[in-house]
Amino acid sequence: MTLSLYTAATPNGYKVSVALEEMGLAYDVHRVDLAAGEQKLPAFLKLSPNGRVPALVDDGFAIFESGAILVYLAEKTGLLIPQDVQGRSRVLQWLMFQMSGIGPMMGQANVFYRYFPEKIPAAIARFQGEGRRLFTVLDRQLADSEYLAGDYSIADIANWCWVRTAKWSGIETEGLPNLLRWKAAIADRPAAQRGIAVPEATKVRSENDEEANAFSSRARKMVEMGKREA
C-alpha cells in the first residue's frame, strides 16, 4: 500500500509515525508547518477537515484524527490490536481514554503553563491537577498489566506519546512507579525511537529538558494565531 503521512512534531503526530514504524510499513512524510498555518490551507483541509495534524492518505483514501488513523492501520494490518471482540474493546477503551482525557488535559496544561501570555494560576492548577489524576488512573491499570490492554497495542502508543511529554506540561510523574516503568519500556523500543524522530526536528532543542523536543519552538505564535481565529 502507498501511505503518505502529513504530520508535525506533536504528540498526536508521533502517535501515527510510531505506529507505522512498529508495523514496519513504508510511508512518505509530508511536514506540515503549523506556525505558518499550512494546516488551514484548502489542500490540507481536504485531507483533514478540522485543520489538525496528522492526516494519512492510503492510496487516495484520506483519514484524519490520530485515533481514527491508529484504528484504521491496526485493522488493516491486523497488528497492535486483538482480533477478539473483548480484546479489541479493551484496546479501544484505553485509546478513547487518551483521546478524551490525557490529550485534551495535557494540551490545555501546555497552553496555560507554557504559552499563554498571562499566567492564570487557577487554570494551570486545574489542568495540571487533572492530568496528574489521569496519570494515576494509568498507574493503577499498569499495576496488574505490563501494558494497558494486555499486549502492547495502539492504546499504549497513543498514551505514551503524550505521557512522555509530562515535564513540558508541568505534570509530576513521581510516585507513579508503574507508569514510569511502562514509559521507560516503550522509550526503549527502537520503533518508538524512530517514530518520535518523524518529522526530522528543526526546532530549538533544550539540553536540560528532552521532553520539550516534542513541541515547536514557535508554539507561542500558534497560540496567538488561535486567539485571532477565535
Within 10 Å of residue 30's Cβ, how many Cβ atoms? 18
Looking at residues 155-163, what average pLDDT do you find? Answer: 98
Q: What is the grid cell recorded at 7?
A: 504530520
Do 85-189 and 3-79+195-210 have the same topology in CATH?
no
Strands across the sheet containing 55-58: 28-31, 3-7, 55-58, 61-64
Q: Hunting for cell 491496526 — which residue is that?
A: 74
Full-model pTM: 0.88
Closest CA to 113 of 48, 33, 172: 172
What is the arithmetic mean of pLDDT over 179-192? 98
Residue ranges of domains in the chain: 3-79+195-210, 85-189
Hey, what CATH topology would domain 85-189 get?
Answer: Glutathione S-transferase Yfyf (Class Pi); Chain A, domain 2 (1.20.1050)
Fold of 3-79+195-210: Glutaredoxin (3.40.30)
What are the pLDDT digits (tens) for 116-158?
Answer: 999 999 999 999 999 999 999 999 999 999 999 999 999 999 9
In terms of pLDDT, which residue wins out, 219 or 67? Answer: 67
CB 51 within 8 A of CB 8: no
* pLDDT of amino acid 202: 63
